[in-house]
Amino acid sequence: MRVEFVNPFLASLVNVLTTMAQLEIEPEKPHLKKGTVAKGDVSGLIGLVGPQTKGSFSVSFEENLALEIMNRMLGEKPSSINEEVTDMVGEITNMVTGGAKRLLAEKGFDFDMATPIVVSGRDHTITHKSDGPIIIMPFKSQFGSAHIEICFDK
């Protein structure tokens, strides 16, 4: 897991939320995940397979933030996480990973993306079981918090 992997994912989430939902989200300091447990209410996960390595990516949202993104992207705000919201989180997961993939390919680091999986459930936790360190990138907004986790083998 190299430090230069951080920015493409971080920039990609900020970019997707700004362009798709006109929503400003503020990145906080990325750090290695060590014993900390980051919780979310709805998360998008995607597996990554490349010639040099494999790994996994996740993006987790607090419910209220996910509902506000839904409101801004589609003009409707459901009262709780429903199938439309999980569809949207799946799309965001694809777009963020796809954006980071393009940026990383320019640096000669290639991987293919599996299909996204969305988890919903109050205060669930996600543990990436790769051999490498897990990098966690927290984000804040006026509607709630989000965080990205990425992990590559070696």
**Binding footprint of a second copy on the chain (CB under 8 A):** 39, 43, 45-49, 54-56, 58, 83, 86-87, 90, 93-94, 112-131, 151, 153
The nearest distance, CB 27 to a second copy, in angstroms, is 22
Q: What per-residue string of b and e applies to 36-61 under the rule 16 or more CB within 10 Å gives b?
A: eebebbbbbbbbbebeebbbbbbbbb
Residue nearer to a second copy on the CB measure, 26 or 83: 83
Residue nearer to a second copy on the CB measure, 7 or 130: 130
Residue nearer to a second copy on the CB measure, 26 or 110: 110
Q: Rounded to whole angstroms, how far apart are CA atoms 82 and 58?
A: 19
The nearest distance, CB 132 to a second copy, in angstroms, is 9
The position carrying tokens 């988890």 is 119
The DSSP bridge partners found for residue 139 are 27, 146
The nearest distance, CB 131 to a second copy, in angstroms, is 8
Query: How many CB atoms are located within 10 Å of the residue 96 CB?
Result: 26
